[in-house]
Amino acid sequence: MIEVYDCPVCGSQELVIVKDHVFHKPIDCPNPPPAHVPYATERLWILFRHILPGTDKIRIKVILCSQCGLMFTNPRMTPDEVAVKYSVIESLESARLRSKLDPPRKIEKRAKRIKAEIERFLGAPVAGMRILDFGGAQGHNLVPFAEKNECCVVDLVKQEMPQGVDYLGKSLDDIPAHYRFNLILLSHVLEHSLDPVTLLSELASNLCENGAIYVEVPLGAFREWRVLKEPLTHLNFFSEQSLSACMRLAGFSRLSIRTRFQWVTHGMNWCVNAIGKLTSSQVEVENHTHASTRKQMKNFRLYVPFLVFKSVEKTKRLILRR
Ligand SMILES: [Zn+2]
Protein backbone atom coordinates (compact mmCIF):
# COMPACT_ATOMS: atom_id res chain seq x y z
CA MET A 1 0.00 0.00 0.00
CA ILE A 2 1.25 3.48 -0.75
CA GLU A 3 0.82 6.84 0.92
CA VAL A 4 -0.64 9.44 -1.46
CA TYR A 5 -0.09 13.19 -1.18
CA ASP A 6 -2.49 14.37 -3.91
CA CYS A 7 -6.28 14.05 -3.91
CA PRO A 8 -7.24 11.07 -6.14
CA VAL A 9 -10.04 13.18 -7.69
CA CYS A 10 -8.84 16.78 -8.11
CA GLY A 11 -5.08 16.44 -7.45
CA SER A 12 -5.10 19.07 -4.71
CA GLN A 13 -2.55 18.79 -1.90
CA GLU A 14 -4.81 20.62 0.54
CA LEU A 15 -5.56 17.46 2.49
CA VAL A 16 -6.75 17.23 6.11
CA ILE A 17 -6.65 14.10 8.30
CA VAL A 18 -10.10 13.70 9.84
CA LYS A 19 -9.80 10.24 11.41
CA ASP A 20 -7.20 7.63 12.30
CA HIS A 21 -8.08 3.94 12.25
CA VAL A 22 -5.84 1.06 13.33
CA PHE A 23 -6.66 -2.41 11.94
CA HIS A 24 -5.23 -5.62 13.40
CA LYS A 25 -4.64 -9.01 11.81
CA PRO A 26 -7.63 -11.18 12.84
CA ILE A 27 -6.51 -13.82 15.31
CA ASP A 28 -7.70 -17.41 15.05
CA CYS A 29 -9.27 -16.85 11.61
CA PRO A 30 -9.16 -20.24 9.82
CA ASN A 31 -7.31 -20.42 6.51
CA PRO A 32 -9.26 -20.03 4.25
CA PRO A 33 -12.09 -18.33 6.19
CA PRO A 34 -15.33 -20.38 6.28
CA ALA A 35 -18.67 -18.81 5.27
CA HIS A 36 -19.79 -18.06 8.86
CA VAL A 37 -16.83 -15.71 9.42
CA PRO A 38 -18.10 -12.09 9.46
CA TYR A 39 -17.51 -10.11 6.26
CA ALA A 40 -15.13 -7.59 7.90
CA THR A 41 -13.00 -10.38 9.43
CA GLU A 42 -12.73 -12.07 6.04
CA ARG A 43 -11.61 -8.79 4.39
CA LEU A 44 -9.00 -8.23 7.13
CA TRP A 45 -7.78 -11.80 6.59
CA ILE A 46 -7.31 -11.02 2.86
CA LEU A 47 -5.52 -7.76 3.72
CA PHE A 48 -3.02 -9.24 6.16
CA ARG A 49 -2.48 -12.60 4.43
CA HIS A 50 -2.33 -11.54 0.77
CA ILE A 51 -1.62 -7.80 0.61
CA LEU A 52 0.44 -7.10 3.75
CA PRO A 53 1.99 -10.49 4.63
CA GLY A 54 4.30 -10.28 7.65
CA THR A 55 2.35 -7.29 9.07
CA ASP A 56 0.13 -7.50 12.17
CA LYS A 57 -1.47 -4.06 12.15
CA ILE A 58 -1.87 -1.03 9.92
CA ARG A 59 -2.79 2.60 10.53
CA ILE A 60 -5.22 3.94 7.95
CA LYS A 61 -6.07 7.62 7.89
CA VAL A 62 -9.26 9.13 6.50
CA ILE A 63 -8.39 12.27 4.54
CA LEU A 64 -10.66 15.12 3.50
CA CYS A 65 -9.69 17.10 0.40
CA SER A 66 -10.34 20.79 1.07
CA GLN A 67 -10.83 21.48 -2.65
CA CYS A 68 -13.27 18.89 -3.96
CA GLY A 69 -14.56 17.47 -0.66
CA LEU A 70 -13.54 13.87 -1.36
CA MET A 71 -12.90 11.75 1.72
CA PHE A 72 -10.60 8.79 1.16
CA THR A 73 -8.40 6.24 2.91
CA ASN A 74 -4.63 6.67 2.99
CA PRO A 75 -2.39 4.68 2.41
CA ARG A 76 -4.11 3.23 -0.65
CA MET A 77 -3.69 -0.08 -2.44
CA THR A 78 -1.70 -0.15 -5.68
CA PRO A 79 -3.53 -1.33 -8.86
CA ASP A 80 -1.68 -4.68 -8.49
CA GLU A 81 -2.92 -5.05 -4.92
CA VAL A 82 -6.49 -4.30 -6.03
CA ALA A 83 -6.11 -7.10 -8.63
CA VAL A 84 -4.89 -9.46 -5.85
CA LYS A 85 -7.87 -8.48 -3.69
CA TYR A 86 -10.41 -9.37 -6.41
CA SER A 87 -8.66 -12.58 -7.39
CA VAL A 88 -8.62 -13.80 -3.75
CA ILE A 89 -12.30 -12.86 -3.31
CA GLU A 90 -13.16 -14.80 -6.47
CA SER A 91 -11.28 -17.86 -5.20
CA LEU A 92 -12.94 -17.89 -1.76
CA GLU A 93 -15.78 -20.32 -1.20
CA SER A 94 -17.02 -18.10 1.67
CA ALA A 95 -17.55 -15.09 -0.60
CA ARG A 96 -19.64 -17.20 -3.02
CA LEU A 97 -21.60 -18.89 -0.23
CA ARG A 98 -22.38 -15.58 1.47
CA SER A 99 -24.12 -14.21 -1.62
CA LYS A 100 -26.09 -17.47 -1.93
CA LEU A 101 -27.09 -17.58 1.75
CA ASP A 102 -27.93 -13.86 1.87
CA PRO A 103 -28.88 -12.78 -1.66
CA PRO A 104 -29.90 -9.17 -2.45
CA ARG A 105 -33.50 -8.45 -1.44
CA LYS A 106 -36.24 -6.16 -2.87
CA ILE A 107 -34.34 -6.11 -6.17
CA GLU A 108 -37.44 -5.20 -8.18
CA LYS A 109 -38.24 -2.18 -6.00
CA ARG A 110 -34.67 -0.89 -6.35
CA ALA A 111 -34.57 -1.33 -10.13
CA LYS A 112 -37.89 0.50 -10.55
CA ARG A 113 -36.64 3.38 -8.41
CA ILE A 114 -33.53 3.76 -10.59
CA LYS A 115 -35.64 3.73 -13.78
CA ALA A 116 -38.03 6.36 -12.37
CA GLU A 117 -35.08 8.56 -11.31
CA ILE A 118 -33.56 8.42 -14.82
CA GLU A 119 -36.88 9.09 -16.55
CA ARG A 120 -37.49 12.10 -14.27
CA PHE A 121 -34.11 13.51 -15.36
CA LEU A 122 -34.55 12.76 -19.07
CA GLY A 123 -38.19 13.88 -19.05
CA ALA A 124 -39.20 10.88 -21.19
CA PRO A 125 -39.61 7.10 -20.93
CA VAL A 126 -36.42 5.09 -21.55
CA ALA A 127 -37.06 3.14 -24.77
CA GLY A 128 -35.11 2.10 -27.87
CA MET A 129 -31.78 2.61 -26.08
CA ARG A 130 -28.61 0.54 -25.68
CA ILE A 131 -27.91 0.41 -21.92
CA LEU A 132 -24.86 -0.84 -20.02
CA ASP A 133 -24.80 -1.68 -16.32
CA PHE A 134 -21.09 -1.50 -15.42
CA GLY A 135 -20.44 -3.67 -12.35
CA GLY A 136 -24.03 -4.84 -12.76
CA ALA A 137 -23.57 -8.28 -11.10
CA GLN A 138 -26.64 -10.39 -12.01
CA GLY A 139 -28.22 -7.64 -14.12
CA HIS A 140 -31.15 -7.09 -11.73
CA ASN A 141 -31.20 -3.30 -12.21
CA LEU A 142 -31.74 -3.73 -15.96
CA VAL A 143 -34.91 -5.85 -15.68
CA PRO A 144 -37.42 -2.94 -15.96
CA PHE A 145 -35.52 -1.67 -19.03
CA ALA A 146 -35.10 -5.03 -20.78
CA GLU A 147 -38.40 -5.19 -22.65
CA LYS A 148 -37.95 -1.93 -24.60
CA ASN A 149 -34.15 -1.57 -24.70
CA GLU A 150 -30.96 -3.49 -25.52
CA CYS A 151 -29.38 -4.26 -22.14
CA CYS A 152 -25.81 -5.36 -21.32
CA VAL A 153 -23.69 -6.05 -18.24
CA VAL A 154 -19.93 -5.75 -17.72
CA ASP A 155 -18.77 -7.27 -14.44
CA LEU A 156 -15.69 -9.05 -13.06
CA VAL A 157 -17.75 -12.18 -12.41
CA LYS A 158 -19.90 -13.83 -15.07
CA GLN A 159 -23.27 -14.81 -13.62
CA GLU A 160 -26.58 -15.99 -15.00
CA MET A 161 -28.42 -13.00 -16.52
CA PRO A 162 -32.18 -12.28 -16.58
CA GLN A 163 -34.03 -12.62 -19.88
CA GLY A 164 -33.13 -9.81 -22.30
CA VAL A 165 -29.80 -8.95 -20.61
CA ASP A 166 -26.45 -9.90 -22.20
CA TYR A 167 -23.15 -10.37 -20.37
CA LEU A 168 -20.39 -8.67 -22.40
CA GLY A 169 -17.32 -9.49 -20.30
CA LYS A 170 -15.10 -8.51 -17.39
CA SER A 171 -13.94 -5.05 -18.44
CA LEU A 172 -14.53 -2.21 -20.88
CA ASP A 173 -12.00 -3.90 -23.21
CA ASP A 174 -14.57 -6.68 -23.78
CA ILE A 175 -17.14 -4.29 -25.29
CA PRO A 176 -17.34 -4.59 -29.11
CA ALA A 177 -15.44 -1.65 -30.65
CA HIS A 178 -18.46 -0.29 -32.53
CA TYR A 179 -20.76 -0.28 -29.45
CA ARG A 180 -21.84 3.08 -28.03
CA PHE A 181 -24.37 3.29 -25.20
CA ASN A 182 -27.21 5.77 -24.73
CA LEU A 183 -27.25 5.13 -21.01
CA ILE A 184 -24.81 3.66 -18.48
CA LEU A 185 -25.65 2.60 -14.92
CA LEU A 186 -22.85 2.74 -12.34
CA SER A 187 -24.30 1.70 -9.04
CA HIS A 188 -22.11 1.29 -5.94
CA VAL A 189 -18.85 1.04 -7.91
CA LEU A 190 -17.05 4.39 -7.48
CA GLU A 191 -16.55 3.96 -3.73
CA HIS A 192 -14.33 0.94 -4.54
CA SER A 193 -12.28 2.70 -7.21
CA LEU A 194 -8.67 3.92 -6.87
CA ASP A 195 -9.26 6.50 -9.61
CA PRO A 196 -12.95 7.48 -9.93
CA VAL A 197 -12.44 10.27 -12.49
CA THR A 198 -10.54 8.01 -14.91
CA LEU A 199 -13.22 5.31 -14.60
CA LEU A 200 -15.99 7.87 -15.28
CA SER A 201 -14.04 9.32 -18.23
CA GLU A 202 -13.56 5.84 -19.75
CA LEU A 203 -17.27 5.18 -19.37
CA ALA A 204 -18.04 8.58 -20.93
CA SER A 205 -16.00 7.57 -24.00
CA ASN A 206 -18.36 4.60 -24.42
CA LEU A 207 -21.44 6.85 -24.52
CA CYS A 208 -23.18 8.24 -27.62
CA GLU A 209 -23.40 11.96 -28.13
CA ASN A 210 -25.98 13.19 -25.58
CA GLY A 211 -25.58 9.93 -23.64
CA ALA A 212 -26.31 9.84 -19.91
CA ILE A 213 -24.90 8.07 -16.87
CA TYR A 214 -26.66 7.16 -13.63
CA VAL A 215 -24.26 7.02 -10.67
CA GLU A 216 -25.21 5.83 -7.21
CA VAL A 217 -22.83 5.72 -4.22
CA PRO A 218 -23.29 5.42 -0.46
CA LEU A 219 -23.19 8.77 1.35
CA GLY A 220 -19.87 7.74 2.95
CA ALA A 221 -19.40 11.27 4.31
CA PHE A 222 -22.38 10.66 6.65
CA ARG A 223 -20.87 8.09 9.07
CA GLU A 224 -18.99 5.28 7.31
CA TRP A 225 -15.62 7.10 7.44
CA ARG A 226 -16.02 7.33 11.22
CA VAL A 227 -16.96 3.68 11.88
CA LEU A 228 -14.92 1.90 9.20
CA LYS A 229 -14.72 -1.85 9.98
CA GLU A 230 -12.10 -2.73 7.35
CA PRO A 231 -10.16 -0.71 4.76
CA LEU A 232 -10.28 -3.14 1.83
CA THR A 233 -13.80 -2.59 0.49
CA HIS A 234 -14.55 1.15 0.31
CA LEU A 235 -11.66 3.46 -0.56
CA ASN A 236 -13.70 6.66 -1.06
CA PHE A 237 -16.47 8.21 1.06
CA PHE A 238 -18.55 10.44 -1.17
CA SER A 239 -20.78 13.44 -0.58
CA GLU A 240 -22.85 15.41 -3.09
CA GLN A 241 -19.91 17.83 -3.46
CA SER A 242 -17.23 15.21 -4.22
CA LEU A 243 -19.44 13.16 -6.55
CA SER A 244 -20.35 16.32 -8.43
CA ALA A 245 -16.61 17.20 -8.75
CA CYS A 246 -15.84 13.72 -10.15
CA MET A 247 -18.58 13.95 -12.73
CA ARG A 248 -17.67 17.46 -13.86
CA LEU A 249 -13.99 16.44 -14.23
CA ALA A 250 -15.08 13.46 -16.34
CA GLY A 251 -16.93 15.79 -18.72
CA PHE A 252 -20.58 15.48 -17.60
CA SER A 253 -21.90 18.99 -17.98
CA ARG A 254 -25.59 18.57 -17.15
CA LEU A 255 -26.01 17.12 -13.68
CA SER A 256 -28.68 16.22 -11.18
CA ILE A 257 -27.57 15.22 -7.68
CA ARG A 258 -29.79 14.11 -4.79
CA THR A 259 -29.22 12.45 -1.42
CA ARG A 260 -31.88 9.87 -0.53
CA PHE A 261 -32.50 7.35 2.24
CA GLN A 262 -33.15 4.28 0.11
CA TRP A 263 -33.03 0.51 -0.21
CA VAL A 264 -29.76 -0.84 -1.59
CA THR A 265 -29.29 -4.64 -1.51
CA HIS A 266 -29.65 -5.71 2.12
CA GLY A 267 -31.05 -2.67 3.86
CA MET A 268 -31.72 1.05 3.74
CA ASN A 269 -29.02 3.68 3.86
CA TRP A 270 -28.28 7.23 2.77
CA CYS A 271 -27.03 7.32 -0.83
CA VAL A 272 -26.09 10.00 -3.33
CA ASN A 273 -27.80 9.53 -6.70
CA ALA A 274 -26.41 11.48 -9.63
CA ILE A 275 -27.31 11.61 -13.29
CA GLY A 276 -24.97 13.26 -15.73
CA LYS A 277 -25.28 13.98 -19.41
CA LEU A 278 -22.68 14.71 -22.05
CA THR A 279 -23.96 17.77 -23.79
CA SER A 280 -22.45 20.66 -25.67
CA SER A 281 -25.69 22.62 -25.53
CA GLN A 282 -25.35 25.50 -23.06
CA VAL A 283 -29.14 25.59 -22.77
CA GLU A 284 -29.04 22.17 -21.12
CA VAL A 285 -26.26 22.97 -18.65
CA GLU A 286 -28.03 23.40 -15.34
CA ASN A 287 -26.68 25.24 -12.35
CA HIS A 288 -27.40 22.33 -10.05
CA THR A 289 -26.89 22.78 -6.34
CA HIS A 290 -25.15 20.33 -4.06
CA ALA A 291 -24.51 19.97 -0.33
CA SER A 292 -20.89 20.34 0.79
CA THR A 293 -18.99 17.44 2.35
CA ARG A 294 -18.57 19.31 5.62
CA LYS A 295 -22.31 19.96 5.79
CA GLN A 296 -23.16 16.31 5.10
CA MET A 297 -20.52 15.12 7.65
CA LYS A 298 -22.23 17.14 10.37
CA ASN A 299 -25.89 16.82 9.43
CA PHE A 300 -27.15 14.96 12.48
CA ARG A 301 -30.72 14.95 11.13
CA LEU A 302 -29.53 12.16 8.79
CA TYR A 303 -29.39 9.89 11.86
CA VAL A 304 -33.18 9.99 12.39
CA PRO A 305 -34.32 7.64 9.56
CA PHE A 306 -31.09 5.67 9.86
CA LEU A 307 -31.62 4.85 13.55
CA VAL A 308 -35.35 4.19 13.07
CA PHE A 309 -34.55 1.66 10.29
CA LYS A 310 -31.84 -0.02 12.40
CA SER A 311 -34.15 -0.41 15.41
CA VAL A 312 -37.03 -1.79 13.28
CA GLU A 313 -34.62 -4.35 11.75
CA LYS A 314 -33.32 -5.31 15.21
CA THR A 315 -36.87 -5.79 16.52
CA LYS A 316 -37.75 -7.95 13.48
CA ARG A 317 -34.68 -10.15 14.11
CA LEU A 318 -35.62 -10.56 17.80
CA ILE A 319 -39.20 -11.56 16.89
CA LEU A 320 -37.98 -14.08 14.28
CA ARG A 321 -35.57 -15.63 16.80
CA ARG A 322 -38.40 -16.41 19.26
ZN1 LIG B 1 -9.86 16.83 -4.21
Task: Please report the pLDDT score of residue 286 as a whole number.
Answer: 56
Task: Please report the pLDDT score of residue 287 as a whole number.
Answer: 56
Domain segments of the chain as ranges: 15-101, 107-321
For residue 282, report the distance from its CA to the centre of ligand 1, in Å: 26
Write the DSSP string, 55-88.
-SEEEEEEEEETTT--EEEESB--HHHHHHHHHH
For residue 17, report the distance from its CA to the centre of ligand 1, in Å: 13
Which residues surround the ion ligand 1 when the cut-off is CB under 5 Å? 7, 9-10, 12, 65, 67-68, 70
Task: Please report the pLDDT score of residue 280 as a whole number.
Answer: 67
Alpha-carbon torsion (152, 156, 161, 166), positive or negative: positive
For residue 11, report the distance from its CA to the centre of ligand 1, in Å: 6
For residue 216, report the distance from its CA to the centre of ligand 1, in Å: 19
For residue 71, report the distance from its CA to the centre of ligand 1, in Å: 8
Q: List b or e across 13-43, with b for residues whose CB sees 16 or more CB atoms inside 10 angstroms.
A: eebeebbebebebbeebeebbeeebeeebbb
- CATH classification code of 107-321: 3.40.50.150
Task: Please report the pLDDT score of residue 318 as a whole number.
Answer: 85
Alpha-carbon distance of 168 to 172, in angstroms, equals 9
What type of residue sits at position 224? E
Q: Which residues of the chain have pLDDT under 70?
A: 280-288
Spatial neighbors of 253 by CB under 8 A, at least 6 apart, are 276, 277, 278, 279, 280, 284, 285
For residue 316, report the distance from its CA to the centre of ligand 1, in Å: 41
